[in-house]
């Protein structure tokens, strides 16, 4: 197992159980206590957990906590890859699509670099870089401009003004959380406004949200659950949440892992 895979598994374990012990993890992964401690140091620096004597616990989080792009990139790698693969099937050559900021939309970008004639609008620096590195001459990438957030989103009046002039086929929206009460949410007030502009610019809204986003609530609502034409999640979504979402969104797709 690669170090990145082990660290992602540790984060998943902490999120599901609330805490882990160094000795237990060392035995499970077949590595030394020192290796696990280095993993925990790294994950704590990224804000993914809190180190305690002999192990680690879940990091405290609030509705305004906004992890950086690198921190979020280490979470739910398999789930994001599966969701991105499912989402890519919705994109046809020649479409004009928007990808919001986020690590799941960045995973989708890697899936779309071979789609011919694509026009991509994004307020995500990492998403734009994926297409820039691919360098396809038949693809057009529009980076909105704006003020950069900790999650590498470009937001604010410059981004909103650029987006409001556009007419797109699909918008793929990554979210911080989703719930019946708050809908789709973000911990950044200005990013919420920019995301609402993206939604208004497109014919269809496709939300990409792994199972950990259920009942997570950021400070600012982007849109109600019913605004999504399609919601793509993964198989670990709890059954009650699955049933609830089916009553609120027009199409619920569950990506197999």
**Per residue in 156-186, pLDDT tens?**
999 999 999 999 999 999 999 999 999 999 9
Phi, psi dihedrals of residue 94, rounded to the nearest 5°: 85, -5
Distance CA 230, CA 100 (A): 15
Can you tell me whether residue 181 is helix, strand or coil?
coil
Q: How confident is the model at residue 77 (pLDDT cuts 50, 70, 90)?
A: confident
Residues β-bridged to residue 99: 122, 172
Neighbouring residues of 156: CB distance < 8 A, sequence distance ≥ 6 = 146, 147, 190, 194
Give φ, ψ of 2 to 5 degrees: -70, 155
**Residue-level pLDDT at 202:** 97
Q: Looking at the domain covering 70-255, what would its CATH class be?
A: alpha beta
Kindly report, residue by residue over 122-164, the tens digit of the pLDDT: 999 999 999 999 999 999 999 999 999 878 899 999 999 999 9
Query: To which residue do tokens 């399609």 refer?
Result: 230
Q: What is the pLDDT of residues 4-55, one digit of tens each?
A: 889 888 887 887 677 889 999 999 999 999 999 999 998 888 777 788 888 8
Query: What are the residue boundaries of the structural domains of the chain, listed by start?
Result: 3-60, 70-255
Question: What is the reported pLDDT for 61?
Answer: 56
Architecture of domain 3-60: Orthogonal Bundle (1.10)
DSSP letter at 214 equals: B
């Amino acid at each position: 197992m690669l170090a990145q895979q082990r660290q992602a598994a540790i984060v998943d374990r902490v999120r599901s159980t609330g805490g882990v012990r160094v000795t237990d993890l060392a035995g499970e992964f077949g590595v030394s206590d020192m290796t696990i401690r280095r993993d925990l140091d790294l994950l704590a620096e990224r804000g993914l957990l809190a180190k305690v004597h002999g192990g680690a616990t879940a990091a405290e989080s609030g509705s305004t906590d906004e992890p950086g792009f690198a921190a979020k990139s280490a979470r739910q790698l398999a789930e994001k890859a599966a969701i991105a693969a499912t989402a890519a099937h919705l994109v046809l050559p020649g479409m004009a699509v928007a990808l919001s900021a986020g690590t799941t939309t960045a995973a989708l970008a890697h899936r779309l670099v071979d789609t011919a004639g694509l026009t991509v609008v994004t307020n995500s620096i990492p998403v734009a870089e994926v297409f820039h590195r691919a360098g396809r001459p038949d693809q057009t990438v529009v980076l909105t401009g704006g003020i950069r957030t900790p999650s590498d989103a470009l937001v604010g009046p410059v981004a909103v003004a650029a987006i409001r002039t556009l007419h797109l086929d699909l918008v793929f929206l990554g979210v911080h959380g989703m719930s019946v009460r708050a809908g789709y949410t973000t911990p950044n007030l200005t990013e919420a406004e920019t995301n609402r502009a993206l939604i208004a610019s497109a014919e269809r809204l496709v939300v990409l949200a792994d199972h950990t986003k259920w009942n997570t609530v950021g400070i600012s609502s982007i849109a109600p659950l019913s605004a999504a034409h399609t919601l793509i999640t993964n198989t670990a979504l709890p059954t009650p949440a699955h049933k609830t979402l089916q009553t609120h969104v027009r199409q619920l797709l569950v990506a197999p892992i």
